[in-house]
């Protein structure tokens, strides 16, 4: 189900500068699936990654915990989340959740977010509120 949803949303990516379309689908603990695609901008720093878009939709819907994720790019190699997206995912997931990394053909490798982002910065480093 995650692969089909990520493939569908990847087709809607806005990538006129890189030509690299990315789709992401995340399953939340509330049982819903949230999707996102990359949205590029001529001012490259304003580009939004697919994973960030999916997490934003999840949070806007009231969910705050990811239980599984899949990222699929339009390239021949598997698509991994950038460093910022690894940090975003880790904010809303336990270190053992599975992240499926896929290439344009849907061939995937699976890693945990802990493997993708060891020693992540998280709330335990911040003073209590």
Catalytic annotation, residues: 51
Please tell me the distance from the alpha carbon of residue 43 to that of residue 17, in angstroms, as a whole number.
Answer: 10
Count Cβ neighbours within 10 Å for each residue of 42-63 and write b for 16 or more, e otherwise: eeeeebebbbbbbbebbeeeeb
CA of 56: how far to CAs of 36, 125, 128, in Å?
9, 23, 24
């Amino acid at each position: 189900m995650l692969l089909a949803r990520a493939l569908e949303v990847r087709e809607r990516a806005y990538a006129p500068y890189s030509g690299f379309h990315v789709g992401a689908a995340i399953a939340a603990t509330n049982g819903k699936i949230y999707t996102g695609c990359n949205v590029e901008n001529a001012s490259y720093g304003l580009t939004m990654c697919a994973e960030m878009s999916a997490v934003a939709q999840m949070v806007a819907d009231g969910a705050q915990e990811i239980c599984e994720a899949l990222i699929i790019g339009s390239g021949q190699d598997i698509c991994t989340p950038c460093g910022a997206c690894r940090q975003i995912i880790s904010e809303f997931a336990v270190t053992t959740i599975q992240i499926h990394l896929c290439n344009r053909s849907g061939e995937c490798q699976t890693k945990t977010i802990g493997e993708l982002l060891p020693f992540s910065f998280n709330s335990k480093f911040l003073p209590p509120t």
